[in-house]
Amino acid sequence: MSAPQRIVLAKVGLDGHDRGIKVVARALRDAGMHVIYAGLWLTPEAVVRVVADEDADWLGLSLLSGAHNTLVPRVLELLRGAGMGHVRILLGGIIPEADVHKLHAMGVARVFGPGTSMDDIVAFLRQPGEAVHD
């Protein structure tokens, strides 16, 4: 039996809308994953610290503040700096279509917008990822 996937869910920056991320947390738990809920109002440094200490496979960030173009690149940079470049990143929340391509190019695995079904997120996480190790 393979070990359950570990995913850290967090909100970065000044954004208090945490209903969405809690719904996702529950859906992933019910899909048999180990979800580490790191909470809201976190700095990029604090998020990366959680991912490193928890040795997570995935990081899911929820952003509804419009600050994704500032915060996400910072998180990615810090992750690589911490030797956690293999961790795959999901984004959720309000992210304009025009920014999605840029975020993918930076290394974000997938962006899920409003109206996404939980089944889609679960199915995406269950896809075998390319094995990357540091």
Which residues of this protein are in contact with another protein, per CB under 8 A? 1, 3-4, 25-26, 28-39, 41-43, 45-46, 49-50, 52-55, 82-83
Closest CB to another protein among residues 3, 105:
3
Q: Closest distance between another protein and the C-beta of residue 52, in Å?
A: 6
* Rounded-to-integer distance, Cα 95 and Cα 103, Å: 10
Rounded to the nearest 10 degrees, the angle between the axes of helix 68-81 and helix 97-106 is: 10
Sign of the C-alpha dihedral, residues 133, 23, 64, 49? negative
CB of 128 to another protein, least distance (A): 18
Q: How many Å apart are CA 48 and CA 4, to the nearest integer?
A: 21
CB of 85 to another protein, least distance (A): 12
**Between 6 and 102, CB nearer to another protein:** 6
Q: Considering beta carbons, is residue 33 or 108 the nearer one to another protein?
A: 33
Cβ(68)–Cβ(99) under 8 Å? yes
DSSP state string for 74-99: HHHHHHHHTT-TT-EEEEEE---HHH
User: Residue 55 or 120: which CB sits closer to another protein?
Assistant: 55
Closest approach of Cβ 1 to another protein, in Å?
5
